[in-house]
Structure 1
Amino acid sequence: MKRLALSLLFFLVLSVAVGFLVSGPEFLDWSVAGGLFAIAVAGEGLRFWMRRSRAKKRESSGI
């Protein structure tokens, strides 16, 4: 869980930085920053789900 939180924090900071860079005269481009963070959350959620699923398959293959 600690790695998941650290990874999401990293992607949050990265997406906000990209939002600042592409915003132009505005303060922050929320659509770009939010979209990038949504992709990161989906990817990390998929990675977390696949890791748990693979671990469950190893447990249930006994006896």
Structure 2
Amino acid sequence: MRLFLVLAFFGVLSLSAGVLMSGDDQDVDWLIAGGLFGVALAGEGARLWLRRGRAKSHESSGI
């Protein structure tokens, strides 16, 4: 649920930035919007990867 909320928030934020950066065209600057959303995806992926790595390192050795 948290992942969905974070990605929805950054999706709206990046789309808004794309609209604002488009200028007088009244169109979306998809390069900026996609780039910002890509950064959000990479950040969330890194967060999940680090969280899983920490969880694996704390597993019991089974002794």
Q: TM-score with structure 1 length normalisation?
A: 0.89
1:15 aligns with 2:14: yes
State the Cα RMSD in Å.
Answer: 1.2
Residues 7-63 of structure 1 show CA distances to partners (whole Å, capped at 9, x for unaligned) of 011100000000011101221100000000001100110001100110111114553
Structure 1 runs of 4+ with >2 Å offset: 60-63
How many residue pairs get matched? Answer: 62
1:39 aligns with 2:39: yes
Alpha-carbon distance in structure 2 between the residues aligned to 1:47 and 1:62:
27
Name stretches of at least 5 consecutive residues in structure 2 with no aligned partner: none
Alpha-carbon distance in structure 2 between the residues aligned to 1:29 and 1:21:
8
Identity over aligned pairs, percent: 60
Q: Relative contact order: is structure 1 or structure 2 higher (C-alpha 8 Å, sep ≥ 6)?
A: 1
Q: TM-score with structure 2 length normalisation?
A: 0.89
